[in-house]
């Protein structure tokens, strides 16, 4: 992806934001893999930008846990192995149901309906698009995080989702129907103001991700 010079309108902050989105996309689509060293000069040339907005973008990605400082001055794409992934999901299974219960009364009805429509459109699509899947997933989970009313809990969940995102990119297409169905169940529970059902549907969804990973990697339950 080359950032067009016309996209720089709006100053250096806008360019850093565009750069952040571009590098995030490279990580999401595995053009930058876990463990890859990011050589700033080379990546800046690839994107058609200077190194200043790239550094700003990398600092933001470091704050989100997607890259880390390696030996020397270079950044490295964070590598998440299956052990860390499963441990992070188990922690999400403890925290996220409670976050959803706390968020239930604070989520605007209009937002619930919008997220539901996105999920239904995704399920009814004739072609699979990875970005649409991620977009729908982000909107459902971030809706819970943003409205839970507990910033410590919210930040913990943001960090855990950054970790699981780095691993679960693989085989994502196979998760479309399970994710969408489980997300709709969460929406139904939130819409009904059923606190017990909200906790249950969120826990079921995360357990589904754990079971899916164990099945495909041949990992026995512990």
Q: What pLDDT, on the 0 to 100 scale, is given for residue 7?
A: 47
pLDDT in tens, 148-206: 999 999 999 999 998 888 886 556 788 899 999 999 999 999 999 999 999 999 999 99
The pairing of beta strand 75-77 with beta strand 67-69: antiparallel
How many CB atoms neighbour CB 168 within 10 A? 18
Residue 29 near residue 64, CB atoms below 8 Å: no
Residues in the chain predicted with pLDDT less than 70, given as ranges, are 1-13, 168-171, 221-222
Q: What pLDDT, on the 0 to 100 scale, is given for residue 115?
A: 97
Residue 208 near residue 178, CB atoms below 8 Å: yes
Q: What pLDDT, on the 0 to 100 scale, is given for residue 3?
A: 59
Long-range contacts of 170-173 (CB under 8 A, 24+ apart): 171/216, 172/130, 172/133, 172/134, 173/128, 173/130, 173/133
Predicted structure pTM score? 0.82
């Amino acid at each position: 992806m080359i950032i067009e010079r016309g996209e720089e309108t709006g100053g250096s902050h806008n360019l850093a934001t565009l750069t952040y989105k571009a590098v995030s996309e490279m990580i999401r689509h595995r053009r930058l893999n876990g463990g890859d060293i990011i050589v700033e000069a080379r990546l800046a040339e690839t994107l058609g930008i200077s190194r200043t907005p790239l550094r700003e973008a990398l600092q933001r990605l470091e704050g989100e846990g997607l890259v880390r400082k390696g030996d020397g001055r270079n950044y490295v794409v964070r590598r998440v192995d299956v052990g860390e992934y499963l441990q992070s999901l188990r922690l999400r299974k403890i925290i996220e149901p409670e976050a959803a219960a706390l968020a239930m009364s604070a989520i605007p009805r209009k937002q619930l309906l919008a997220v539901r429509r996105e999920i239904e459109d995704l399920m009814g699509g004739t072609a699979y698009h990875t970005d649409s899947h991620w977009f729908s997933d982000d909107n459902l989970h971030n809706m819970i995080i943003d409205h839970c009313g507990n910033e410590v809990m919210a930040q913990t969940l943001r960090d855990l989702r950054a970790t699981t995102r780095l691993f679960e990119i693989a085989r994502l297409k196979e998760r479309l129907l399970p994710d969408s169905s489980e997300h709709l169940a969460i929406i139904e529970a939130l819409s009904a103001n059923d606190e017990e059902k909200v906790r249950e549907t969120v826990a079921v969804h995360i357990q589904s991700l754990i079971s899916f990973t164990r099945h495909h990697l041949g990992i026995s339950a512990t």
